[in-house]
Structure 1
Amino acid sequence: MSHREPIGRAMSRRFVLSSGIAGLGALGLGLSTDTGTPVNQAMPLTGNVSVEQIRSRSRGRPVDMVVMHPRGVDPQGLPVCLMLHGRYGDALDLVAGVPTWLSDSFEQQRIPPYTVLAVDGGRTSYWHDDPMTMLLDEVPGWLAERGLGGPEGRIAAVSGISMGGFGALLYARRRAEMGDPVRAAGVISPALFTTWRRMRTRDAFRNESEWASLDPLRHVDALGDLPLGVWCGNADRFIKGTRRFIRRAQPEYASTTPGRHNRAYFRRALPELVDFVGGHLHDA
């Protein structure tokens, strides 16, 4: 089974990589963003990437919202896939490769055009509590105001890396519980610990009971028949939990090829995730 991989933290938070240049370490057109002052309008970084800073009521702070779409395609009217960053990361992490992979796959007619949306969720939040409230209650309004995701600002699919993988599965569960399931989900190296002893070292949850109530491994059935793709390196620190999740969830696609929990593996897997999600959005 072929395998590609996603991104990591390739740059300072104040700079983004030109979406026309592939490769994590290649610096393209670096444009700074003022992360200390809210921005009223989106800042176009390239033709197919923009960043806007918006104040989140749920999080009580400004957050970056990054919109990425294929080159030469108007993002208005396209289905939207939410992509959640990993621990100690932020929305700008994803700019280093996603816009290029979206464009290449669309131009090669492997996928229909769609938009990838990234927002800041906090460095260690696991996307629960306030960040999840932001995703469910605020992000649709932000999208609708900008003509994205249709009149309701609908998010059609969700994906995530590491901590963001945990969050993506939790988001998909919440949407299913609301009677409004997403069309597909894809997760890379999801941060699925199998014991509270390991999870408690992350200082993310108040106690074991809270973690157990949110842990995707314990709530696989809540996802329903969601089309799901899962990628994890076979030497990843989360491989045990991911394999357990794969056994229970029986995802449509699963890859556990060689790799560790690092940007090299992420960059191999992410283009596959982009294609997987796109394959389920053809009639969204």
Structure 2
Amino acid sequence: MVIAGASGLAVAGLAFGAGAGKVPFSPALHRSLGAASSPSRRMGFSRTERVFSSARGRTIDLVTILPTKSPPPGLPMCVLLHGLHGSARTADPTGLVERLGNDVARGAVPPFGFVAVDGGNSYWHERLPGDDPMAMLLDELPGWLRERGLGDPTGTPFACAGMSMGGFGALLYARRRAERGRPPAAIGTLAPALITSWAEMRKRDAFRDATAWASLDPLRNLAAIRGIHTAVWCGTEDKFISGVRRFIARADPVLAYTARGRHGDTFNRTVVHSMVGFLGKHAPTAHNRR
């Protein structure tokens, strides 16, 4: 599914599969992706705690974003990864807490939540020995969630999401989960930092060399996430739009949305409703968790 915004800088419409016809992008379709016709009136709940990560060798922030202050036990959780120079406290785009609370309250999506942690600036992998944010996500986060009565019985998140560097990280996290035989049900990425040249990527000092980057670059390892429901949202003036368009063409995500906008919260906040709706469609329901 490819959706173009009204800017006219991308092809308007919705395409289903190669060679398929196109249908107009209507308000009804917009609502089906999670948009509300009325303003949010209920607030979600966010909690910040401090936990020690052995994988990172430091104490970090653990932020949970919940639809209510007292959610049901076993609430399905989605990992939410922050961008470069960000943190767990800045991982959520403007309006996410409120949108989640409102959409769950009105029954637009089943109850679920988000969890964010501090991951540093190494594109969610072990750049330096002793600081491994991916190991933290895979091996420590489930335990933290389980201790708080969140997630499935093992504390494993049902989905992953991220913006910018966090979008890169979400795709890598999904790959690692798939390699362990437990792929997430869905991936949601906001303007993922899919850089297309080593000359540009090396400026971030996040990888030892071009070979290390290539081994982890989602664009070069798309087969690892085949079969996982994936969505991507990106502004057409975003600095990562070339890589995102390459990802859309090669990965054939379930939902690909582009519209006028630059990199950052100004664009991200406009698609929060769609992200919550997309992830909510893949959240386990109470009946399915029995």
Range class of TM-score, shorter chain:
0.7 to 0.9
SS at match of 1:256: strand
1:252 maps to which residue? 254
1:18 maps to which residue? none
Is 1:188–1:270's contact at 8 Å kept on the other side of the alignment? no
Find out whether 1:57 has 2:59 as its counterpart.
no
- The superposition leaves residues 30-70 of structure 1 with CA deviations (integer Å, 9 ceiling, x where unpaired) of xxxxxxxxxxxxxxxx9722111001001111110011111
Task: Summarize the alignment of residues 1-284 of structure 1 with structure 2, pairs less than 5 Å apart.
Answer: 48-71=45-68, 73-94=70-91, 96-122=94-120, 124-129=121-126, 130-283=132-285
RMSD of the alignment, in Å? 1.9
Normalising by structure 1, we get a TM-score of 0.81
Q: Write the letter of the residue equivalent to 1:219.
A: N
Looking at structure 2, the residues matched to 255 and 75 of structure 1 have their Cα atoms a distance apart, in angstroms, of 32
SS at match of 2:259: coil
Looking at structure 1, the residues matched to 100 and 279 of structure 2 have their Cα atoms a distance apart, in angstroms, of 11
Is 1:68–1:117's contact at 8 Å kept on the other side of the alignment? yes
Report how many residues are paired: 243
Q: Which runs of 5+ in 2 are unaligned?
A: 6-38, 127-131
- The superposition leaves residues 132-190 of structure 1 with CA deviations (integer Å, 9 ceiling, x where unpaired) of 01000111111111211133111100000000000000000000111101010100000
Q: Write the letter of the residue equivalent to 1:237.
A: K
Q: Write the letter of the residue equivalent to 1:85.
A: H
Kindly tell me: are residues 47 and 238 of structure 1, through their superposed partners in 2, closer, same or farther at Cα, counting changes over 3 Å? closer
Looking at structure 2, the residues matched to 282 and 142 of structure 1 have their Cα atoms a distance apart, in angstroms, of 20
Looking at structure 2, the residues matched to 69 and 207 of structure 1 have their Cα atoms a distance apart, in angstroms, of 39
Looking at structure 2, the residues matched to 69 and 198 of structure 1 have their Cα atoms a distance apart, in angstroms, of 37
Displacement of 1:72: 5.7
Is 1:186–1:228's contact at 8 Å kept on the other side of the alignment? yes
Is 2:52–2:58's contact at 8 Å kept on the other side of the alignment? yes
Q: Write the letter of the residue equivalent to 2:80.
A: M
Normalising by structure 2, we get a TM-score of 0.80
Displacement of 1:107: 2.2
1:27 maps to which residue? none
- Larger of the two Rg values belongs to structure: 2
Looking at structure 2, the residues matched to 181 and 72 of structure 1 have their Cα atoms a distance apart, in angstroms, of 29
Is 2:44–2:98's contact at 8 Å kept on the other side of the alignment? no
Kindly tell me: are residues 120 and 72 of structure 1, through their superposed partners in 2, closer, same or farther at Cα, counting changes over 3 Å? closer
- The superposition leaves residues 75-96 of structure 1 with CA deviations (integer Å, 9 ceiling, x where unpaired) of 5211110000111111111455
SS at match of 1:277: helix
Looking at structure 1, the residues matched to 102 and 110 of structure 2 have their Cα atoms a distance apart, in angstroms, of 11
Looking at structure 2, the residues matched to 264 and 185 of structure 1 have their Cα atoms a distance apart, in angstroms, of 21
Is 2:186–2:230's contact at 8 Å kept on the other side of the alignment? yes
Is 1:186–1:273's contact at 8 Å kept on the other side of the alignment? yes
Kindly tell me: are residues 94 and 207 of structure 1, through their superposed partners in 2, closer, same or farther at Cα, counting changes over 3 Å? closer
Q: Write the letter of the residue equivalent to 1:103.
A: G
